[in-house]
Chain A
Amino acid sequence: MKKSSQTYTITTLQKKFTAKAILITIMNSLIEKILYHVEKPGRYVGGEHNQIEKDWGSTPLRWCLIFPDIYDIGQTNLGLAMLYQILNAEPDILAERSFAPWIDMEAQLREHDLPLFSLESKKALKEFDILGFTLPYESIYTNVLNILELSGIEAYVSHRTENDPLILGGGQACFNAEPMADFFDAFVIGEGEEVSLEISHLYKAWKANNGSRQELLFQLAKFPGVYVPSLYEVDYLQDGTIEAIRPLRADIPAKITKRIVPVLPPHPEKFLVPNVEIVHDRMSIEIMRGCTRGCRFCHAGMVNRPVRQRSVDQLIPTIKNALKSTGYEEVGLLSLSSSDHTQILELTQQVHENFHDKKLAFGLPSLRIESFSVDLMNELQELKPGGGFTLAPEAATERMRAVINKPLDEEDFYFTVKKIFEHGWRSLKLYYMIGLPTETMEDVEAILEAGIKVKRIGKSILGNSAKVHLGIGTLIPKPHTPFQWLPVESPETIQAKIDYLKAGTRKAGIKMSYNIPDSSLLETWLSRGDRRLGPVIYRAWKNGAKFDAWGERENLPIWREAFESTGVDPDFYAYRERGLDEILPWDHIDIGVKKNFLKQDLQWSLRGRTRPDCRNTCYACGILDAFGETRPDNNISYWGCP
C-alpha cells in the first residue's frame, strides 16, 4: 500500500494544538490511520464481545493488564481473564488490556511518535496508575523493556519519575524474577486474585495521601506476597556465588512468602471473544490447581501447591454460562493432571450429558497414565472423537522414572496404549525428556524401544494408519524444584542423544520433534539467573532482541554478545553444579515448600527412591506449615493434602 506523502506525528501536531482533549482525538485518528498499514489490525482495536469499558474520568484507579507478547498469544491467557474480571468488578477500579505490538505495528508507532496504547480506551500506557505485566515465561522479558520504551517509561526503576505508573509483575516466572529485578517496581509472588485487590486499596490510600513513590514501594514491600526488589541487596562471594540477600530496612521481611487463595474463587464466565483468529482460540476452564504427584523436574508442581479443585457442581454451571455468554465451539478443561481430579469421570459424564447435542469439542489434556481408566477413555471418545492422543511418560526405564519421581508400571502403560488405539485414536504423541540426572545411553535407547513397541501395538490394531510421535524435551533444572542445584547437560551430550533418537525413529517410521540444544539456553540462563543479568537483558534488548520466544535461536548471537560485553559468564548459570549449602538467587522467595524438603528429595532421587502421590501420605513438604491455617474447615478434602 502506498504511503501518504503527508506524515503527521504527535509532536508536530502538538505545536498546533495544546488542549489535551484535542491531542487525544488526534491520537485516535492517527491510530486509525496507521491501522491501515499493519497486518491484522484487529489485534489492536479491542471491541470484542464481553469487553468491559468503564468511564475513564470518573474511575479513580486505572490498571492496564499487559501480556508482553502479541494479542494472538496472550488474549486467551486464563490469568489475564481472571484479573480482568476481578478488577473490573470493583466500581472504583478499571482494568484495560494491552499486548506487545508486532514488528510492523511497532515500526508504525515509532514512525508517528505514537505511544503504545490500551485496547479499550486507546489511552497511552503512561496515563494508567498501575501497569500489571503477566510474566508466564522468561523469553518474554525483552518485550517488557520494549513496551516500557514504547510507552515513554524508563526501563530502570532507579530512573523513573514520581509520575510514572507503578510497574508490577506477576505470573509463574516471578518465583525467580531476579534477572528482571532492575526493571520492576514490585512483583506479586503467587496467586493474584486477592492480592491484586489489596494492592489496589493500598494504592488508593497512598494516592489520597499524596505520598511519594518511595513511600509506596516501602508500603508494598511490607505487604504479604509482594516483593520490591530495589529494597533488597545481594552480596556476592569471591567465587561469584551469593553471600547474602538482605532487606534494606528492618521493617520489611527477609523472605517473601507467596500468596495463595485458600478456596478457588468463582471461575470467570464472561470471557472476551476475540474478533480475529488467534492461537488456542477456545474457552479454558480451570478444573483444578496444583498437583500432588511431585515430579521432580516440574516447576509448576512445586510452586502451585496445595491442590485445590472445583467440584462438578461448580463446573457444569460455569461451563453452561460461559458457553452462553461467548458462543465458543471448543472448551479446554485445564489442570496440571486432569485424571487426578477426584470427580473426573463424573465431570466428563456430565459434560457429555449436558452438551452432547451442542456440536462442541471438549479437550482434556494432561492425563496421567496410571489414573486414567478405560471408563474415562470411553467418555473422552464421546467428547472429542478422532484426532490425536497425548501421554507423557517422560522417561522410559523404571530406574529413570524413579529418579524423576514419575513411576509407571510398564504393563499399565502398554495396556493404556492398546486401549487408545482400540478406541480409534490414530495418532499417539508421547513426551519424553533427556538430559535427566544420572541418565545413561541405556535410558535413551529405552525411549526409542518404547516408541517402536507402541508403533507395533498401533499397527496391530489399526494397520498403517497408526501414527506415533515422540516429543523429546531437554531438562532445564528449574528453581524451587529438587533439581535446582544440578547443572544442565552439555550441548554435545544432548546432541549425541538427539542424533541417536533421530536415526532410530526415522528407521522405525516414527515422527520425532525435539528442542535444538541451543534453543533452550536462553530459558536456562534467565530462569536460573540472578539480578546480575539485568544489564545483560538490557543490552540484548538494546541490540534488537525481542520476541525471543519466537526466534530464540536467531537471537542467540545477540545474547552471547550481551553477556560478553557486560562481563557476565553465561556458563555460571547453566553448567555449574551448585553446592547444597549455597544461597540460591531465589532463596528469599518462599513458595511454602521447604528448601530442606527439596534437598532430601534430591538425595532420594539420586538413590532412586520415589515419593508416591502425597494425597495418600504427607511428606511434610512445608505447605501445610505455611498455609494450613487458611485451609477451609468445612471441607478438609478440598485441598489434596491428607
Chain B
Amino acid sequence: MNDTPIRIRVKYSKSGNLRFLGHIDTQNLFERALRRTELPIRHTQGFNKRIRINLASALPLGFISEAEILDIWLDQPIDTEIIGKKLNEALPDDIKVLEVQMVDNALPSLQASLVSSDYLISIPADPGLETFKNRFQALLTGEKIEIIKRKKTIDLKPMILDYSFQSESPDGDQSFIRLSSSPNANARPDDLLQLLEIDPADCLVKRTKLNFS
C-alpha cells in the first residue's frame, strides 16, 4: 500500500428523485457506491473504519445541481477516466459524475476554500418575473436583510454577491444569483425565497457552480 494517498476530485450532478436526499445521506450513498466500484479506496484509521470522503458543500433538500464537488482518497493511482466510468456504473441514474481529476494532497479542504455558490432559480408564474424583480430590489434597498437562524440574527445583504434576471430563456423566467458559501458566511437561496414570499417548493433551484479561492 502506498503510504501517501492519492487525492481525487469529483464533480457531479444531482437531479430527479435524489434531489430529496440530504447531505449525510448523499455522503452515505457515495460510500456504498464507492464500495461497489471495488476501487482501492482509502479508509479512515481506527476502530470503525470508514471511507474517507469530503463533500464541498451541503446542497439544500429539493435543489438540483450540475456542479457538486467532492474529494476521495485512493491507496494507489488509477486512471481518472476509469474512476469516472466505474463510479457512474455504481451510482443511481440521478447522480452523474461529470469530471474526475487528481489533485494535490496538500491543498486545503474543499470547505475551507469554498467562497461562493451560483444558483439559477426558475421563477414560478405566480408571482411572475416582474413581481419577483420588484420584491428582490425592494429587499436590497434596505440597509440590512435580516433573518433568524438557530436563534441568531444574520444579515444576508453582504452575502448576496451578484444577481441578474433572464426573461423568456428556454427554461422560462429565471434569476441568477451568487451567494456567499464560506464557513462563516453561508447563505441559502431558500432563505432568500422565503423573504420574497415565495415557496421554494414552487421553484426549481439549480446550483450551477461552486467557486473556490
B residues at A contact (CB < 8 Å):
16-18, 20-22, 24-25, 28-29, 31-36, 38, 43, 47, 49, 61-62, 90-94, 126, 194, 197, 199-202
Q: A47 near B17 (CB under 8 angstroms)?
A: yes
Which residues of chain A are within 8 angstroms of B34 by Cβ–Cβ distance? 327
Q: A327 near B32 (CB under 8 angstroms)?
A: yes
The stretch among A196-204, A271-279, A618-626 that forms the contact with chain B is A271-279
Partner of A324, one of B38, B47, B92: B38
Partner of A42, one of B16, B25, B90, B91: B25
| Candidate in A41, A277, A327 with the most chain B CB atoms within 10 angstroms | A327
Other A-B contacts than A33-B202, A324-B36, 17 sampled, CB-CB below 8 A, are A1-B201, A4-B201, A35-B20, A35-B201, A36-B61, A42-B21, A45-B20, A47-B17, A47-B93, A49-B33, A49-B91, A273-B32, A276-B21, A326-B36, A327-B35, A329-B32, A329-B35
**Residue of A whose beta carbon sits closest to that of B197:** A2
A587 in the interface, Cβ–Cβ < 8 Å?
Answer: no
A84 to B8 Cα, complex, angstroms: 37
Which residues of chain A are within 8 angstroms of B17 by Cβ–Cβ distance? 45-47
The minimal Cβ–Cβ distance linking A238 to chain B, given in whole angstroms, is: 58
CB pairs A–B below 8 angstroms (7 shown): A36-B199, A49-B36, A49-B90, A49-B91, A275-B92, A276-B21, A326-B32
Q: A36 near B200 (CB under 8 angstroms)?
A: yes
Which residues of chain A are within 8 angstroms of B199 by Cβ–Cβ distance? 1-4, 36
Which residues of chain B are within 8 angstroms of A46 by Cβ–Cβ distance? 17
Q: A41 near B61 (CB under 8 angstroms)?
A: yes
A14 to B14 Cα, complex, angstroms: 32
Which residues of chain B are within 8 angstroms of A2 by Cβ–Cβ distance? 194, 197, 199
Q: How many residues of A contact B (CB 8 A)?
A: 32
A328 in the interface, Cβ–Cβ < 8 Å?
Answer: yes
**Residue of A whose beta carbon sits closest to that of B36:** A327
Q: B21 near A275 (CB under 8 angstroms)?
A: yes
Interface bits A23-34 vs B (CB < 8 Å: 1, else 0): 000000000111
Q: B25 near A275 (CB under 8 angstroms)?
A: yes
Q: A49 near B202 (CB under 8 angstroms)?
A: no
**Residue of B whose beta carbon sits closest to that of A4:** B199
Given contacts A41-B20, A46-B17, contact A276 B25 (CB under 8 A): yes
Which residues of chain B are within 8 angstroms of A151 by Cβ–Cβ distance? none
A327 to B62 Cα, complex, angstroms: 26
The minimal Cβ–Cβ distance linking A40 to chain B, given in whole angstroms, is: 8
A359 in the interface, Cβ–Cβ < 8 Å?
Answer: yes
Given contacts A6-B126, A49-B33, A276-B21, contact A327 B197 (CB under 8 A): no
Which residues of chain A are within 8 angstroms of B62 by Cβ–Cβ distance? 35-36, 41
Partner of B90, one of A3, A37, A276, A327: A327
Q: A42 near B20 (CB under 8 angstroms)?
A: yes
A41 to B62 Cα, complex, angstroms: 9
Which residues of chain A are within 8 angstroms of B90 by Cβ–Cβ distance? 49, 327
Given contacts A42-B20, A42-B25, A359-B49, contact A328 B194 (CB under 8 A): no
A6 to B128 Cα, complex, angstroms: 14
Ranked 5 nearest A-B pairs via Cβ: A327-B32, A36-B201, A327-B35, A4-B199, A47-B17
Which residues of chain B are within 8 angstroms of A544 by Cβ–Cβ distance? none
A33 to B201 Cα, complex, angstroms: 5
A325 in the interface, Cβ–Cβ < 8 Å?
Answer: yes
**Residue of B whose beta carbon sits closest to that of A119:** B17
The minimal Cβ–Cβ distance linking B44 to chain A, given in whole angstroms, is: 10
A275 to B28 Cα, complex, angstroms: 8
Which residues of chain B are within 8 angstroms of A1 by Cβ–Cβ distance? 194, 199-201
A40 to B20 Cα, complex, angstroms: 8
**Residue of B whose beta carbon sits closest to that of A43:** B20
A523 in the interface, Cβ–Cβ < 8 Å?
Answer: no
A32 to B64 Cα, complex, angstroms: 13
Partner of B18, one of A6, A40, A275, A328: A275
